[in-house]
Amino acid sequence: MGNNGFFTDTTLCIGCKACEVACKQWNQLPSDGFKMSGYSYDNTVALSATTWRHVDFVEQKHFPDGSGKPVNWLMMSDVCKHCTHAGCMEACPTGAIIRNEFGDVFVQPDICNGCGYCVPSCPFGVIDRNETTGNAAKCTLCYDRQKDGIEPACAKACPTDSIIFGDVDELKERARKRVDTLHDRGVDTAYLYGVDEDTSVGDLNAFFLLTERPSVYNLPEKPRLPQDNVLPGFMACFAAGALLTVTTFFSLWKHV
């Protein structure tokens, strides 16, 4: 059995938030409360322990007609990436985070001790601790639905097929054809994020079709696992220590 995952085509997203609602309803996640965030129509702001799907609204303020009105919208339904090399899973000291039989990165709530080591280990800022239970929580790719042969709630609810669920290898082929189609239509900036990229997290099992740089969608340009910073950090500390040692030596030598 191959890995299951998501292909999210941002060019088809209409920002309806049906995926957010379906995710919360099926997984019985509590409301985040209604508040005006100041970020366009985005009231959930980010993924969290109680928001496993988040529709990001990006207003590009281009004023070619001099009207002062935004004329371009980018919308993307964000979710856990279920990375090939998952930082959260590598950081978990209890083995609570595993890869299940469908290839999904899954948090076992009965084993999680709430240490929170997984939170800073995710380069995408996905996983979070639930303030009520203390456990880490994120998208499960609707594990219970998959076991019954049913697609995840968010993909089922998406009215434009912006979110497609299935075998990751098959989704990649479909996604590449979609990129070629967009290029033929003149959308030269279309590309796949999380597929065939040289990063330490590997390919993403929940990947995206984008038309702007990743940072525009609040995604890292080059996602890196925390351990990638160990050697550069050590070298920086070593260089700083060596410089201080030399500086101290010459300072004392002048007073001898």
Residue 16 annotated as part of some ligand binding site:
yes
Angle at 146 (CA atoms; ends 42, 139), nearest 5 degrees: 30
The token pair that represents 221 in the structure block: 């340009």
**Residue 40: closest CA among 54, 55, 58:** 58
Cα 120 to Cα 126: distance, rounded to the nearest angstrom: 9
Cα 150 to Cα 136: distance, rounded to the nearest angstrom: 25
Residue 13 annotated as part of some ligand binding site:
yes
Residue 23 annotated as part of some ligand binding site:
yes
- The answer to whether residues 187 and 55 touch, using CB atoms and an 8 Å cutoff, is no
Residue 112 annotated as part of some ligand binding site:
yes
DSSP 200: T
Residue 237 annotated as part of some ligand binding site:
no
Which residues are known binding-site members for [4Fe-4S] cluster?
Answer: 13, 16, 19, 23, 80, 83, 88, 92, 112, 115, 118, 122, 139, 142, 154, 158
Q: Which residues are annotated as a binding site?
A: 13, 16, 19, 23, 80, 83, 88, 92, 112, 115, 118, 122, 139, 142, 154, 158
